[in-house]
Amino acid sequence: MSLLFANWQYLTNSPFSPVLRAGFCLEVSICPTRLNFFEIYFGSKQAGESHTNIRIIFVLIFEFDYIRVLNYNGYAEKIIMSYFEITGGRKLNGEIEVKGAKNAALKAVAAAVLSREKWTITNLPQIEDINRILEMVEDLGAKVKRSEKKVEIEAKNIKKSRLSDKLAGKLRASIILAGPVLARTGKVSMSYPGGCVIGKRPIDLFLAGFQKMGAKVKWQNDHFSLSVKKLKGAKIFFPKITVTGTEAMMITAVLAEGETVLSNAAMEPEIPALAEFLNKCGARISGAGTPTIKIKGVKKIGGGQMKLISDRIETGTFAILGALCGGKVKIKNCNPDHIRALLVNLEKAGAIFEETKNELIVWGAKKINSVNVMTHEYPGFATDLQPPFTLLMTQAKGTSQIHDPIFDGRLMFTDILNSMGANISINDPHRATVHGPTKLRGRKIASPDLRAGITLLLAGLIAKGKTIIENIYQIDRGYERIEERLQKLGAEIKRVSA
Ligand code: EPZ
């Protein structure tokens, strides 16, 4: 049953789902080496609703070298190209540097569209999600000049108010561009944003916020448009804490007339970092990093240079890696304070580490204890670190309860860990019980999403024998040249181009 549930989630939220959305449609979702579902819908689908019409599901077992999917523009895409080949069991030692934060970079690139002047963003990670958002702003008419760890964006002229469907379908964070484009041009339209397959990803809180600021919303199938004469400051209460929702409203309010107050706002470190830079460019934001953010609208925003903070999720992932596979792993260029909730639990689990202001040294844990964790918005235990922590718990003695209330599809990858020898039962979409310790064995698997993907990679590093991980685009979305960085620690991992 849990397998059925898991695959159902893959299907309805699959990265391929934007492929054919409206009207009479056929949607295909394929996951190599797993049960595969073909789903056929008859009838029409209204925007923002789930498919409610007659549904026929065929369950087939297939293996694919790659999949080609045709999207509505007739554009064919090879979804699975390269794979990682890992031989597990090596002890890792040495230094690994954390890159700039993906989720800070995405929002900074979008915020650059607020300004007619040049924004230079440094410490930029070289990852697929950043490539996609830069393609989007370029497509809108901004000049984008990229060098290794830096990008210059000059959005003097915004030529379009329609965001690329092809790119929006790949990136949840594409919705963050809606506000700046609306503020600059008075209108914006886009298709429903795609992104990680981790559960429902509604956008109701974004739309409600834009409406509060005076925008009119129109839906047509899975495509929506917003228009406004002049954005007005508003009091916006988030009934649910939303990271990108908070950032979207904060950015949009910068050019609105009057004051905006955001209540029950998210407090993730990327938010005050962005607010601080926006203020340097002339914005008037106070309270970012607390649940109440006040933004006094200004007429224009200037340019400048912003250095991105380090990626706290990468930091946490490497800390878990150190506990699982060290040796002694020194994590450089990080902020241990940003992963305090993880460190507290790693300590309970028996991991040994030392920290300074911007470094963390982790030694392999001799004995891992079982720990129960519940994810929570920042400063709580990050949902993005739940998958690798769950993997750590497969090596712990006893049972651990994992509770991830934030997304309803974040435990799906446990099926794949089970296929490698783990013993994890799914109690409901938000709760799992891990029975440990279990020995993992290498096998051929596919990465379903970014954080599950890196977890499977870590699993491959501790598994006996060889692991092949396909669909590694998902890992490349958030981790820069991960195999090269792990090789330097002594890992036996290589990227193979199919
Ligand atoms: C951000 O997603 C991150 N992505 C996610 O990281 C992260 O898992 C998540 O925050 C939680 O920390 C980016 O910053 C690009 P939310 P976001 O809005 O902002 C519900 C990664 O791997 N909600 O805070 O999209 C939503 O369903 C990614 O790097 C609504 O109900 O997450 C969820 O239950 C994966 N309506 C909760 O809020 C809305 O309109 C929190 O989601 C918006 C959200």
Residues of the chain with pLDDT under 50: 1-80
pTM: 0.86
Residue nearest to atom 28 of ligand 1 (CA): 384
Task: Please check whether residue 301 is in contact with residue 112, taking contact to mean a CB–CB distance below 8 angstroms.
Answer: no
Compute CA 151 distance to the chain's CA centroid, rounded to the nearest angstrom: 21
Instruction: Give the C-alpha separation, 131 to 246, whole Å.
Output: 23
Structure tokens at 218: 């129109």
Which pLDDT belongs to residue 198? 63
Ligand 1 neighbour 406 (Cβ under 6 A): yes
25 is catalytic: no
Task: Give CA angle at 363 (315, 369), nearest 5°.
Answer: 90
Measured over the CA atoms of residue 108, residue 167, residue 376 and residue 204, the dihedral's sign is positive
Which pLDDT belongs to residue 16? 40
- Angstrom distances, CA of residue 467 to CA of 87, 289, 420, 436, 482: 6, 41, 9, 21, 16
CA of 196 to the centre of ligand 1 (A): 10
**Residue 11: how many CB atoms within 10 A of its CB?**
21
Give the residue ranges of DSSP H helices in 40-101.
none
Three-state DSSP at 326 gives strand
Task: Give CA angle at 271 (224, 455), nearest 5°.
Answer: 85
Which pLDDT belongs to residue 172? 83
Ligand 1 neighbour 178 (Cβ under 6 A): no
Enumerate domains of the chain plus CATH numbers: 2-80 (no CATH), 83-98+310-497 (3.65.10.10), 102-307 (3.65.10.10)
CA of 242 to the centre of ligand 1 (A): 6
